[in-house]
């Protein structure tokens, strides 16, 4: 079984690659099978442990170039993140829109349509200035993206739906919540601070929170996010159901509640390393995203939100060297 992961050298991509290499995986309702070849498509090399597996190959280049032989499944995670897509419109369109279509066209050429999982985002929802706040989002809420990134992701969802309707792919789009806590250094995502205000203080470093302390946000831990991506690939077409993208479950919290959890888990005063300096540009993007979700469709697939942010911090802390 050959599996392709675009963006496979990124944080979520690496977690996914490790899981795919670790043991049998079921695709589209089929019996779980070992991955015989894992193709990591990314501009940077995969991590040493993923690269060391003899089943791994690395394709370094544009998504518009060939992805090689036919695959049984494609996980399309590659993309220009929210803040970067807003700052560089052309880069966002090239990767998030043109790149997604290139991946779909590659899959369209297969003799047997592959399972294709597209990672979309809660950024497809936004507070339309003419309509006001979104309120609680459910499975039927109409997306109204308020950023270039959100627009590009929503278009990607529609492309996946139409290629699926035409029988070119067995597509499943999942809308990810903001993932926290991410390891490593900050990235260009507008929501990057939602990891930084935990990650940096735990490392003894200062962090900046550019959002109001009580601004509600929707989060998901890396483990719950990976679980949702894999579950989308595993189920058969009838169980997956609608071609419409599925919202993954969310934990609703706020920066103030997050730093309080940090102090409870890591010790009082740990959050003193967080500087509260509001950035209107960040608030305009992240603050437009809905913080509350009802996700019965995901629940029916056995997916659930994290129970508390304290548990998320503990899980991150347990992985620290």
- From CA 145, how far away is CA 58, in angstroms rounded? 33
CA angle 134, 138, 139 (to 5 degrees): 130
Angle (CA) 253 131 294, round 5°: 40
149 catalytically annotated: yes
Cis check for the bond before 259: say yes or no (omega within 30 of 0). no
- What is d(CA 207, CA 272) in angstroms, rounded to the nearest whole number? 10
Phi, psi of 189 (to 5 degrees): -65, 140
Cα separation, 65 vs 178, in Å, equals 30
Q: 222: Cβ–Cβ under 8 A, 6 or more apart, which residues?
A: 11, 12, 15, 179, 181, 182
- Which amino acids are annotated catalytic? 149
């Amino acid at each position: 079984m050959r599996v392709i992961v675009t963006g496979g050298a990124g944080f979520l991509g690496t977690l996914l690659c490790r899981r795919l290499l670790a043991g049998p995986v079921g695709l589209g309702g089929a019996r779980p099978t070992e991955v015989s070849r894992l193709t990591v498509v990314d501009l940077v090399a995969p991590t040493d442990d993923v690269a060391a597996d003899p089943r791994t190959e690395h394709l370094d280049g544009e998504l518009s170039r060939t992805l090689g032989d036919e695959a049984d499944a494609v996980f399309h995670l590659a993309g220009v993140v929210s803040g970067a897509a807003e700052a560089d419109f052309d880069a966002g369109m090239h990767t998030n829109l043109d790149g997604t279509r290139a991946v779909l066209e590659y899959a369209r050429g297969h003799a047997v349509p592959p399972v294709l999982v597209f990672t979309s985002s809660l950024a497809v929802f936004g507070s339309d200035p003419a309509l006001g706040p979104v309120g609680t989002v459910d499975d039927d809420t109409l997306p109204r993206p308020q950023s270039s990134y959100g627009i590009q992701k929503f278009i990607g969802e529609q492309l996946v739906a139409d290629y699926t309707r035409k029988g070119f792919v067995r597509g499943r789009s999942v809308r990810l919540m903001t993932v926290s806590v991410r390891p490593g250094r900050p990235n260009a995502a507008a929501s990057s601070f939602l990891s930084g205000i935990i990650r940096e203080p735990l490392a003894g470093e200062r962090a900046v929170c550019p959002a109001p302390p009580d601004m509600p946000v929707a989060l998901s831990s890396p483990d719950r996010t990976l679980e949702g991506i894999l579950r989308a690939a595993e189920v058969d077409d009838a169980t997956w159901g609608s071609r419409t993208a599925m919202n993954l479950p969310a934990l609703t919290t706020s920066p103030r509640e997050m730093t309080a959890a940090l102090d409870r888990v890591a010790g009082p005063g740990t959050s003193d390393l967080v500087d509260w300096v509001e950035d209107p540009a960040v608030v305009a993007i992240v603050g437009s995203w809905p913080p509350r979700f009802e996700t019965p469709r995901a629940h029916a697939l056995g997916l659930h939100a994290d129970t508390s942010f304290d548990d998320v911090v503990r899980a991150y802390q347990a992985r620290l060297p």
